[in-house]
């Protein structure tokens, strides 16, 4: 839900990113990209969007996974409130990382973007383990090298199959809260971790 009452939905169309915006009455909003819909192609690859995040300034951050020659990586696209790609972000509005597959996102008050996602199985030391990668980006999409080790960290909850579900910024402390599912043997656990945000 955007601040102006517009309803934005995200998904996929022919393996590309797809967004649509509706009015409060449920009709396509033609002030959004002229038609109410937009599709974005990241190139010779396949994208699957997890969700879209509405920033406080009304810009839209769509995030999910990119499947290319390097396997599964983060895919992010940022749009202006009117549906145009935000040219000030990443490469003409698009960002493909070298890690993970985005499942959760949080935006800090200073505009920095924190992303969490699972590693690809091929990137794990053991066939039955999967870790979580958390990375942080500056508002323009560049890697924030002040975060953890060169902008990213790897999280392992005791050699399980870990899958992040939700990220949030604590209102008072501004610390990062990560909620995840960790499966080990025949049991599945809900786990929570808290990190300093600076």
pLDDT for residue 125: 42
* pLDDT by position in tens, the chain (length 198): 887 788 999 888 888 889 999 998 899 999 999 999 999 887 766 777 778 888 888 899 998 777 766 666 778 899 998 999 999 999 999 988 766 667 888 999 889 999 888 875 444 444 456 788 888 999 999 999 998 888 888 888 877 788 888 899 998 888 999 998 888 777 888 888 898 877
Closest CA to 67 of 7, 131, 12: 12
pLDDT for residue 129: 66
pLDDT for residue 92: 92
Q: Report helix, strand or coil for 26.
A: coil
User: How far apart are alpha carbons 97 and 75 in whole angstroms?
Assistant: 7
Task: Confirm whether pTM is higher than 0.85.
Answer: no
pLDDT for residue 120: 59
pLDDT for residue 37: 95
pLDDT for residue 124: 41
pLDDT for residue 116: 87
User: How far apart are alpha carbons 5 and 56 in whole angstroms?
Assistant: 13
What residue spans define the domains of the chain? 1-98, 103-198
User: How far apart are alpha carbons 89 and 68 in whole angstroms?
Assistant: 21
pLDDT for residue 23: 93
Burial class (CB in 10 A: 0-12, 13-18, 19+), 146: exposed
């Amino acid at each position: 839900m955007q601040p102006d009452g517009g309803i934005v939905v995200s998904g996929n169309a022919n393996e590309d990113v797809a967004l649509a915006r509706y009015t409060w009455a449920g009709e396509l909003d033609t002030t959004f990209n002229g038609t109410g819909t937009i599709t974005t192609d990241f190139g010779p690859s396949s994208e699957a969007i997890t969700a879209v995040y509405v920033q406080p300034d009304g810009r839209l951050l769509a995030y999910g996974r990119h499947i290319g020659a390097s396997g599964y990586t983060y895919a992010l696209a940022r749009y202006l409130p009117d549906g145009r790609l935000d040219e000030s972000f990443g490469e003409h509005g698009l960002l493909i990382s070298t890690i993970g597959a985005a499942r959760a996102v949080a935006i800090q008050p200073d505009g920095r973007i924190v992303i969490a996602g699972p590693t690809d199985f091929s990137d794990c030391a053991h066939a039955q383990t999967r870790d979580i990668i958390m990375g942080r980006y500056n508002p323009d999409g560049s890697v924030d090298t002040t975060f953890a080790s060169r902008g990213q960290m790897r999280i392992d909850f005791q050699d399980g199959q870990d899958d992040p579900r939700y990220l949030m910024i604590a209102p008072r402390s501004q610390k990062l809260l990560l909620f995840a599912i960790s499966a080990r043997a025949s049991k599945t656990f809900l786990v929570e971790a808290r990190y300093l945000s600076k």
